[in-house]
Structure 1
Amino acid sequence: MQTERAADEVQNRKEWDMQPSNPTAETQEPTVKKEDSMDAAEDYRAQQEENETELVPLENENMAEFFYYTELTDEIKERITGKSYPDTEEPLEITYEDLAYVHVLHYDFEGQVQEGELICSRAIAQDLTGIFRRLYDNQYPIEKIRLIDEYDADDEASMADNNTSCFNYRKVPGSTKLSNHAYGLAIDINPLYNPYVRTGNGETLISPDNAAAYADRSASFPYKIDKQDLCWQVFTEYGFTWGGSWNSSKDYQHFEKTD
C-alpha cells in the first residue's frame, strides 16, 4: 500500500506541476490525497460518531490520512457551483482545474480536534496543508474551517461567524477588480478577532460589523494575530504576506501568496 501511495503521489504532482515553497522548519511533509486516505478518514470519522465522542489527537503516523489536498471532485464542484464558484456559461478567469480541495485537522476554541476543509489555488495547496499541520502540531486555536459555501458565499456572514476560509470568486468590495480570494491565493484566519480596518475622512470601517471590540490592536485579547503570533510566523515562513502590514488599510485576518 505504501508503494502504491508513493507512486500515486508522484503521478499526481506531475499532473498538477506544483511548485510549493519549502521552508526549513522541521515538519512532516503532507501528502496528496489518494482514495485510501479518504477511506481512512471516513472510517475514523464514523468510529467517532458511533462512540459519540469528539475527534481525538492522532499519532504522527496517521497524520497523512487527514492532512491532504486533491483536485476538485464532482461532489465538491456541485457544492460550490452557484455559490463561491459562479454558475455561468461565461468564461471565468479561474477554472475548476486551477483549484484544489484541502482537508486538515485543527483545534477549536474548546481545545477539541475538528476537521476543516478549504478550497484554494492548486499553486498553494501543499503550502496550506503544511501550514495547518504546523498549527495543529502546536495546538493553535482556530474556531472553524468551513467552505464559505456553507454561508452561501456571503463573506460578511462567514467572517461574523469567525469562519476561516480561502476561495470565493468575488470582487474587492467597492471595486471591479477580482479579490485574491477569487484566485484562491488568500485566506482569512479567525476573522472576527482579526478584522479588516480602514480609516478615512474621519470614519473607520470595520469588517465584520461585529468585530469592533477587536479593532484596537494595542489591546490584549485572545486569538489576536500579530507579528509575535505563531500563525503570522508560520504563514510568512511559507512566503505569504499579511494584511496587517498594509499601509492604507489593515486586514489582520488576511494572508496571501501571489508570487
Structure 2
Amino acid sequence: MKRNRYFMIVILSSLLFLACLLMLFKRQNRQEPAEGETETIDFSGLGRTEETPLAENTETEIQIESEPVHDADTAFYTTGLTEELKARITGKSYPDTAEPIQISYEELAYVHILHYDFQAQVQEGELICNQAIAQDLLDIFRELYEHQYPIEKVWLIDAYNADDELSMADNNTSCFNYRTVPGKSKLSNHSYGCAIDINPLYNPYVRTKDGKVLVSPQNAGEYADRSADFPYKIDREDLCYQLFIEHGFEWGGAWNSSKDYQHFEKKIQKPD
C-alpha cells in the first residue's frame, strides 16, 4: 500500500514538473507586438472586434458619423433654367399667359444649396432667382451652411402651387414668384427674382391698418412681437441679416410703414 502511494506521488510530481516546463517554453517563444503596432483582440463573444488602443478607434467612429452625407463642394451650384425646370414652374410661379411678362426664363437662375434644418440634419434646397443675385445667394447660403444656421426648408414655391401664404405658413424659404404686392397692382420684387423670404413663419410681415395689427402668414401671430425671445428670429444681431447686408441687400425689418422680417431684397435694374 505504501509502495503504491509512493509511486502515485512520483507520477503526479513528474506531471506537474512537465506542465511547468511547457508553460515556461511557450512564454519564452511568444512574439510581442513591435513598437507602434496594435494588438488585435477578439471581442467576437461580445458581438464586435476592436483593435487596441480603443480610445483612438472610438474617436474615429464619431468623426465618421458626424460628417455630412453630402459633398458641399459639388452641392452648391447655379445654372440656367433647363426645360424640365421651366415645365415645373410654368403655370405656377411663372405665368402661362400670352400677356407680356416682365422677366424672361433666360434672366432667371436655378440655385442648389445645402442647409441645416431644425433637427440639425443636412438637407438639399433649391431656389430660383434673378441671374444678377445668383452668386450672392450661393455665397450667403454656403456661409450659413458652414455655420450650421438653421433653416427649416428651402423648396421652390411651386410645391405650394405658388401660393405665398401657404408657403410662409409652412415656414418655407423661397425666392422667385411672379405676383403682385398683396393689396396692390404693382409687381412684387419676388416677381423679378431679386427678393427672398427666410424662415417666414418666425419672421412674419407685420403692419397696422385702421388700428389693427395684421400679420402674414396668419399663423405667425405669436412671432409678431419682436421684443419677445424665441428661436429662429432674424434681427440685427443675426448672422443671416449680417450676411445679406454685407452683400448689398435691404432688410424688410427696417421698413417704416410696415415690417417684413423675413424679407431681403437687392435693387437691380428692372425693365420699364
Q: Aligned partners of 1:163 and 1:68: how far apart in 2?
A: 20
Task: Please say if residues 55 and 113 of structure 1, whose CA atoms lie closer than 8 Å, have aligned partners that are also in contact.
Answer: no
- The equivalent of 1:176 in structure 2 is 185
- The equivalent of 2:129 in structure 1 is 120
- The equivalent of 1:216 in structure 2 is 225
Matches within 5 A, 1:132-147: 132-147=141-156
Task: Please say if residues 57 and 113 of structure 1, whose CA atoms lie closer than 8 Å, have aligned partners that are also in contact.
Answer: yes
Shift of 1:201: 1.5
> What's the secondary structure of 1:115's corresponding residue?
strand
> What's the secondary structure of 1:136's corresponding residue?
helix
Shift of 1:63: 2.4
Q: Which runs of 4+ in 1 moved over 6 A?
A: none
How many pairs align? 204
Q: Aligned partners of 2:265 and 2:100: how far apart in 1?
A: 25
Q: Aligned partners of 2:154 and 2:66: how far apart in 1?
A: 15
Does 2:119 correspond to 1:110?
A: yes
Aligned AA (1:242): W
Does 2:88 correspond to 1:83?
A: no
Q: Aligned partners of 2:94 and 2:199: how far apart in 1?
A: 22
Does 2:158 correspond to 1:149?
A: yes
Residue identity over aligned pairs, in percent, reads 72
Query: Which of structures 1 and 2 has the bigger CA Rg?
Result: 2
Q: Aligned partners of 1:55 and 1:162: how far apart in 2?
A: 27
Q: Which has the higher contact order (CA 8 A, sep 6+)?
A: 1
Does 2:163 correspond to 1:163?
A: no
Which segments of 5 or more consecutive residues in structure 2 lack a partner in the other structure? 1-64
1:184 to 1:55, Cα distance in 2 relative to 1, 3 A: farther
Shift of 1:90: 2.0
Task: Please say if residues 56 and 112 of structure 1, whose CA atoms lie closer than 8 Å, have aligned partners that are also in contact.
Answer: no
Aligned AA (1:57): P
Matches within 5 A, 1:1-259: 57=68, 62-259=71-268
Shift of 1:91: 2.0
Q: Aligned partners of 1:121 and 1:132: how far apart in 2?
A: 16
Q: Aligned partners of 2:198 and 2:67: how far apart in 1?
A: 23
Q: Aligned partners of 2:264 and 2:180: how far apart in 1?
A: 17
Q: Aligned partners of 1:56 and 1:256: how far apart in 2?
A: 33
Q: Aligned partners of 1:159 and 1:188: how far apart in 2?
A: 8
- The equivalent of 2:14 in structure 1 is none
Shift of 1:56: 5.3
Q: Aligned partners of 1:90 and 1:97: how far apart in 2?
A: 17
Which segments of 5 or more consecutive residues in structure 1 lack a partner in the other structure? 1-53
Shift of 1:211: 0.0
Task: Please say if residues 195 and 253 of structure 1, whose CA atoms lie closer than 8 Å, have aligned partners that are also in contact.
Answer: yes
1:75 to 1:256, Cα distance in 2 relative to 1, 3 A: same
Q: Aligned partners of 2:73 and 2:181: how far apart in 1?
A: 35
Q: TM-score, normalised by structure 1?
A: 0.77
